[in-house]
Structure 1
Amino acid sequence: MPVPSLLFDLDGTLVDSVYQHVLAWREALEAAGLELSVWRIHRRIGMSGGLFLDALLRETGRRLSAEEVTRVQRTHAAAFARQVAQIRPLPGARDLLAYLTKARVPWAIATSGRRESAQPMLDMLGVGPDVPVVTRDQVEHAKPDPDLFLAAAERLHVAIDTSIVVGDSVWDLLAARRARALGVGLLSGGYGQDELEGAGAYRVYQDPADLLGHLDEVGVRVSL
């Protein structure tokens, strides 16, 4: 049996950035005259920016023009950029990626964020130019559509149905199911185990360090 490839989400999966995104979205929404509780925003983190705004606007009954949507997205990007210095890799993230690289296990990153906002976090993880990274601006649809993970598998030249998607949100796991990949959930983004399992997670771990200690449970068995 071939060693499975791993396709990672970024925010909340490899870096501790979910709550910075939440606060940045709150700032952007309030600038547009939309006041929403932080918990409502958190529940949508991980979706593509367009779907994220559509979902929140449905809850408020508000409508925004295309120009206003663009302004909200730009305000979010600027607010998030101001908080990047506060972000750290999640426990075990660097070790997990280093182990996979040393063991010659194929891996890639697929994020609903755009390359500009993702790059500082890729740098703090030590992700080099040889690692496939698929961002929102490279696919037609982001999560919960499967495009990001399908593109990541294609970049690795591996079959999606022998790949494992690792994510922290229900949107990651729904996208994994639609791509016909195995889904593994991490609790490091704030979703509960029941929620992740309900969205299709085969296994759920605390964070990257916990996953590193249990790679054999998801079929990664290698001898260094």
Structure 2
Amino acid sequence: MSEERSPGGTYAGAVLFDVDGTLIDTAYLHAVAWWQAFRQAGLTVPMARTHRAIGMGSDHLLDHLLGPDRDKDGDSALSASHDALFAAYWPSLQPFDGAARLLHVCRQRGWRVVLASSAKEDELSAMRAALNAEDSIDAVTGASDVASSKPEPDLVERALERAGVPAERAVFVGDTRWDVEAAARAGVPCIGMLSGGWSRAELEQAGAVEVYEGPAELLGKLDGSILSQPSKD
């Protein structure tokens, strides 16, 4: 899934964006899709608990919700059911207000803009189509690029490689505790978004350096954020 284009200028830093729940309003759609997949398999997992696992890749999500010592023979079928159920929402996916503009302004200010998502290739393609911000995206990483998903740091580290900058010149933007933890393990500060359903206190406790309601608020307060300008030190 990795892809990259030649940058149009000199980039002193990179901003790495989670997509689900951060740029596109999908967190609760994923929760519903997983809940239905579990029900189809005869499993009962409360919706609220399912939502709290959204942001993990399916590998960690199933361990988190069903237990790591379970019989894992049915994992592939569960994941496939989720994917099929979630795909029904693709035509109606909606970006958050200000999401595309935020990417554009970040790139305009000298950041490399990288999408760093745990989504599979077809899901990520559908979200990118909904976002409609291809001219502002320098590189993309997805589930197929890493061995382990968030909260492990693999995805963030791979995004840094694609961006061509060290961790100290990057910022991650995500909406869950799992994003904040993955970024921290890669040595990257994380901006938290409330758009995925996690509270300000939870994101700050996990280590988020700043927290905003969503892309529109961050865009409006960009000059006072750590994304005001990339460091040139």
| Distance in 2 between residues matched to 1:131 and 1:219, nearest whole Å | 17
Of 116, 121, 128, 1:110 maps to: 116
Question: Pairwise CA RMSD of aligned residues?
Answer: 1.8
Secondary structure at 1:20 match in 2 = helix
Using the size of structure 2 for normalisation, the TM-score is 0.88
The answer (yes or no) to whether the contact 1:17–1:87 under 8 Å persists in 2 is: yes
| Distance in 2 between residues matched to 1:106 and 1:87, nearest whole Å | 25
Q: Tell me by how many angstroms 1:219 deviates.
A: 4.3
Secondary structure at 1:91 match in 2 = coil
2:200 aligns with 193
Of 180, 186, 193, 1:179 maps to: 186
Q: Are 2:111 and 1:82 equivalent residues in the alignment?
A: no
The answer (yes or no) to whether the contact 2:59–2:149 under 8 Å persists in 1 is: no
**What's the % identity of the aligned pairs?**
37
2:226 aligns with 218
Unmatched segments (≥5 aa) in structure 1:
none
| Distance in 2 between residues matched to 1:131 and 1:74, nearest whole Å | 30
Unmatched segments (≥5 aa) in structure 2:
1-10
Superposed, which structure 2 residues align to 1:1-224 within 5 Å? 3-58=12-67, 63-66=70-73, 68-128=74-134, 131-216=138-223, 217-221=225-229
| Distance in 2 between residues matched to 1:197 and 1:177, nearest whole Å | 12
| Distance in 1 between residues matched to 2:218 and 2:12, nearest whole Å | 16
1:148-181 CA-partner distances (Å, limit 9, x unpaired): 1111111111111221010000000000110000
Q: Tell me by how many angstroms 1:211 deviates.
A: 0.9
Q: Tell me by how many angstroms 1:53 deviates.
A: 0.5
One-letter amino acid of the structure 2 residue matched with residue 83 of structure 1: Y
| Distance in 2 between residues matched to 1:82 and 1:219, nearest whole Å | 35
Q: Tell me by how many angstroms 1:31 deviates.
A: 1.1
| Distance in 2 between residues matched to 1:184 and 1:65, nearest whole Å | 34
One-letter amino acid of the structure 2 residue matched with residue 114 of structure 1: K
Q: Tell me by how many angstroms 1:127 deviates.
A: 3.9
Secondary structure at 2:209 match in 1 = strand
The answer (yes or no) to whether the contact 1:164–1:184 under 8 Å persists in 2 is: yes
One-letter amino acid of the structure 1 residue matched with residue 229 of structure 2: R
Using the size of structure 1 for normalisation, the TM-score is 0.92
